Amino acid sequence: MAIAEGKKMPAGSFSVMGEAGPEALSTDALFAGKKVVLVSVPGAFTPTCSKGHLPGYVSHADELHAQGVDTIACMAVNDVFVMHAWGKDRDVGDKVVMLADGNGEYTKALGLELDATGYGMGHRGQRFAIVVEDGIATHVAVEAAGEFKVSKAEAILAQL
């Protein structure tokens, strides 16, 4: 069952690139006492993700922060090295935290996995954005197949 508004986000962890290499980031550290926009894309370096989804959050980061968002985080079922390289390629700087859900465990815990085996991409995460306030999902926007509307930065800004 997919995460729903008003529900506590599942416990888990991600990999992030630290100064000395890969590090673990727990959901407690990410969500506790903060307002977070958690964005998921089916894959780093893929067309819609690279040209629209992630860049939208980078360009609207100041507006999101002005609406009380503490952290913007982008996750994908990719390894930490790919997520780090993608963040550098898209020039996210410190505007977006790049989260690797390498084995898709957190995506599965959210109930938002995507079977992309027909495209040669294996099992991934659906395209979505969740507004999380102190560990509680307050807005859940999951895209319909092939869509890019409800999870884009502009749509999330309109919900804040």
Instruction: List, in order of start, the domains of the chain with CATH numbers.
Output: 13-159 (3.40.30.10)
d(CA 6, CA 152): 21
- In tens, the pLDDT along 84-128 reads 999 999 999 999 999 999 999 999 999 999 877 787 777 889 999
Instruction: Assess contact for 40 and 152: CB atoms under 8 A.
Output: no
Catalytic (active site) residue 49: yes
Q: What's the mean pLDDT when you consider all of the chain?
A: 95
Who's near 126: CB < 8 A, 6+ residues apart?
Answer: 40, 42, 107, 112, 113, 114, 142, 143
Task: Give the chain's radius of gyration (CA, Å).
Answer: 14
- In tens, the pLDDT along 68-89 reads 999 999 999 999 999 999 999 9
Instruction: Assess contact for 112 and 105: CB atoms under 8 A.
Output: no
Q: 37, 41, 49, 132: which one is catalytic?
A: 49
pTM: 0.95
